[in-house]
Structure 1
Amino acid sequence: MVNANELLKKKCRHLDTGLNDAEVKEYLAAVEGWTLQEGKVAKTFSFGNYYETLAFVNAIAYVIHAEDHHPELAITYNRCIVKFDTHSVNGGRGGISENDFICAAKVDAVFHQSAA
């Protein structure tokens, strides 16, 4: 069984094959609060104000750029919704891969570090 600490140690890589439903369920159990929404791994992060929201976005931008795995972001005054999927899997039709969970774990780590 995979866990968040293992995911934090991994690096995203090019993948052609996505995860099956059972694997997605297992990986979701490893990243607290993340859910499957419309074919994407998603989580909403809440903040006290716009500045904190943007500081979080800037912090995760560094991480996701380093992983070369970019999410869909929806930013409001005190929330940021982060959604990951992998466009290269399933013959270019997209889907969920381990990369989505690697980045989910790393985004969570940034959030927890900024909250501390």
Structure 2
Amino acid sequence: MVQVYEYDKNFILTKPVLIEPDEDGEYMIPENCTTVQPPSFVKPIFHPAEKTWTEAATQEEKKALEKQIESGRVLSPIDELKAQNAAITAQLAEAQSLAESQAQMIANLYLILAEGGKGE
């Protein structure tokens, strides 16, 4: 699993996205995504030719966001990233648990086969 960063038609960051490998183990990164992690900007904008992010928010947008954060109406970018990180961590734990369950089922099937194919 790899994390990429999705951007809109104006190259503004929309969200981080987890990409699963295909059956060949290859990662197919969508066209509107990059593996380059954006800095903690208010409104990151991606420059594909340079593979860099810059800040697109104006001073007015930054001040408006600060007021919203102070009033508790929106999460700060760091709190938002913490929430996204928690969700991704939960997804990873679920995937690992599923993989362990599948490994145990396969081991049980091999044991059944080794015992002559007689299940319980």
TM-score normalised by the chain length of structure 2: 0.26
TM-score normalised by the chain length of structure 1: 0.27
Q: Which has the higher contact order (CA 8 A, sep 6+)?
A: 1
Structure ID, larger Rg: 2
